[in-house]
Amino acid sequence: MNKLAQKKYAPSTERNREPILNVLTGCLPDHGTILEIASGSGQHAAYFISHLPNHYWLPSDPDPENRNSISAWWWDIQLNNILPPLDINTRDDVWPVENISLPLPVAAMVCINMIHISPWPSTIGLMKGAARILPPGGILYLYGPYKTGGQHTAPGNELFDINLRSRNPEWGLRDVEAVADIAGVHGLNLVKTVNMPANNLSVIFEKE
């Protein structure tokens, strides 16, 4: 199997991975398995876990080509604390991670750049899954562009939102307050938001 042929590259990942890691190292529990939802190319997984030796990283993605790419990135680093990617669709009532044994229990979940490129029911499913899987005090970390108070935070985000909705009317930038509201329904309390480069936000929740 040609690992290089399967590997995908996302230029934005190269730009945002260090700022995201800086936030993660300040909010993640000291140890445990980190479940990543919508891992995409796998670049984040490979980069983050090389800096988190006390954790296991469990990537996932519903797209088989993305899972192949995640495996190809693992092939490069071959660290024992990154686990094989799972096929997780957040809208499913039960996720595969709920039926497998892990080296350490899931202590946190990370979801980067999914909420605006998926239908709203995917976000609802994400919160339901986090409520089922995270322990009390567990962390849900989100990253991406958001509206606040119903308003875009930058002209570029507004143009991006228009582009997304032209591609799929179910996509688009979400109000961070709406995301926090649906999280709260499922016992996930907003801890803080952090302004990130390129008009993105880190949004951090804690399980009750």
Query: What is the per-residue pLDDT across 127-180, written as a single tens digit (0 to 9) for each?
Result: 999 999 999 999 999 999 999 999 999 999 999 999 999 999 999 999 999 999
User: Do residues 56 and 102 touch, judged by C-beta distance below 8 A?
Assistant: yes
Tell me how many degrees the CA angle 5-171-113 measures, rounded to the nearest 5.
50
d(CA 21, CA 158): 26
- Residue 9's pLDDT is what? 87
Confidence band, pLDDT 50/70/90 cuts, at residue 5: low
The two structure tokens encoding residue 4: 């290089």
- The whole-model pTM stands at 0.96
**pLDDT tens by residue, 14-60:** 899 999 999 999 999 999 999 999 999 999 999 999 999 999 999 99
Phi, psi of 24, rounded to the nearest 5 degrees: -60, -45
Task: End-to-end CA distance of the chain: give it in Å, rounded.
Answer: 44
Residue 19 CB partners (closer than 8 Å, separation 6+): 196, 197
The tally of CA atoms less than 13 A away on the side-chain side of residue 74 is: 20
**Domains along the chain?**
3-207 (3.40.50.150)
**pLDDT tens by residue, 81-123:** 999 999 999 999 999 999 999 999 999 999 999 999 999 999 9
Confidence band, pLDDT 50/70/90 cuts, at residue 3: low
- Residue 1's pLDDT is what? 45
Per DSSP, what are the bridge partners of residue 55? Answer: 32
Residue 183 CB partners (closer than 8 Å, separation 6+): 127, 130, 140, 189, 190, 205
